[in-house]
Structure 1
Amino acid sequence: MTRPRGRPTPGSGVSRDAILAAALVLLDEGGGQGLTMRALAQRLGVTAMSLYRHVGDHAGLLRMLSDRVYAAVLEQPAGEAGALAHLRGLLTRYHQAIASHPQLTLAIFATPAAFAGVTRQITEQLTALLAVMTDQPELWRDILVDHAHGAGLALVSARGDAAQAESMAARYQQALDGLLTRLTAP
């Protein structure tokens, strides 16, 4: 497929929202290896260079994707009163976000420069909540985040099997409750 060279005509470019939507689909379909600037440009019918103006480099693209996917994790519903309820809700939403786009989590693991923005805010918020409950907030944060990652990524095996996915999500909640009970035990 050949593309005309030079600048696109005004109004014929691609939006950041379109780039992020297409990038998330590519990531979900092909994993981290499937999301390249070249593949993304081909999907959108533009040149790869035209993407850099909107998203910077590959790590910038991953940061924007994680900000989009994980933004809802930070939204605290009105019913989450108290640090423990907020902690449980935050981890539950984080687990759900990982499960909905596991390839994004794996891509962030593979690209440390992508760990910023909302993912960093989630980590900071977890640490602050845990600091109120324990004298080892970083240790518990790492345990709880690793548990959310493992349980969320494991849901990939249940794709297409709603009953299995529901069962695995329920087991995550049971294990999370057990960990939180241990955390708050005298």
Structure 2
Amino acid sequence: MARDDILVTALAMLDEGGGQGLTMRALASRLGVTPMSLYHHVEDRAGLLRALSDRVYGEVLEAADGELDPLAQVRALLVRYHDAVGRHPQLTLAIFAEPRAFAGVSRQLTERLGDLLANVTPYSLLWRDILIDHAHGSGLAVVSVRGDSLQVDAIREQYAKAVDCLLGELTRTHG
């Protein structure tokens, strides 16, 4: 059994049944192994969630936006993050429920957003929190329309417009 198999299966379990159904025992059962064998790959459930977060949100952080101005980088980062939350909303909810899981790429993503905003406004932490909370709320709304690609696209489009409005207000008042 490889770590990759564990993460793929764990993410599928989250997507299927939410955070409550993802236990080390249930994951081991799905993989056909003993629960103790999982601990060779992840230290505990929080570690498993961190590894899943690193995988899902790592793509958000790794995209190259270096040639864009800071505000355009903020927008691109938020749109990618919103899309990731929308694809795997149960991961975001599981991280909310397990504060020790907020580390690694999740923390790096939040720090990167704060650093970019510091180039734009003296209220970078306030705006970071507003923008992250908005991404979570809109991304989690995708759960209610899952399976309806037109509705999902509409939420994504509405989110992008809202981000543009928020960033426009940020630059108008602080730029």
Both proteins in one fold, TM over 0.5: yes
The equivalent residue for 2:103 is: 116
User: How many pairs were matched up?
Assistant: 173
Deviations 1:123-179 (A, max 9, x none): 100110111111111100000000000000001111111111111110000100000
Distance 1:80-1:73 versus aligned 2 partners, 3 A rule: farther
Identity %: 64
* SS of 1:133 mapped into structure 2: coil
Distance 1:78-1:86 versus aligned 2 partners, 3 A rule: closer
Q: 2:147 aligned with 1:160, yes or no?
A: yes
Cα distance in 2 between the residues matched to 1:75 and 1:63: 17
In structure 2, stretches of 5+ residues that fail to align are none
Q: What one-letter code is carried by the residue in structure 2 that aligns with 1:45?
A: G
Cα distance in 1 between the residues matched to 2:67 and 2:142: 26
Shift of 1:72: 0.8
Q: TM-score, normalised by structure 1?
A: 0.91
Cα distance in 1 between the residues matched to 2:7 and 2:65: 30
Q: TM-score, normalised by structure 2?
A: 0.96
Shift of 1:78: 5.2
Match of 2:138 among 148, 151, 166: 151
Shift of 1:75: 2.2
In structure 1, stretches of 5+ residues that fail to align are 1-13
Which structure has the greater CA radius of gyration?
1
Q: 2:142 aligned with 1:185, yes or no?
A: no
Shift of 1:58: 0.4
Q: Within 5 Å, which residues of 2 pair with 1:1-186?
A: 14-77=1-64, 81-186=68-173
Deviations 1:91-150 (A, max 9, x none): 000000000000000000000000000000001001101111111111000000000000
Runs of 4 or more above 2 Å deviation: 75-80
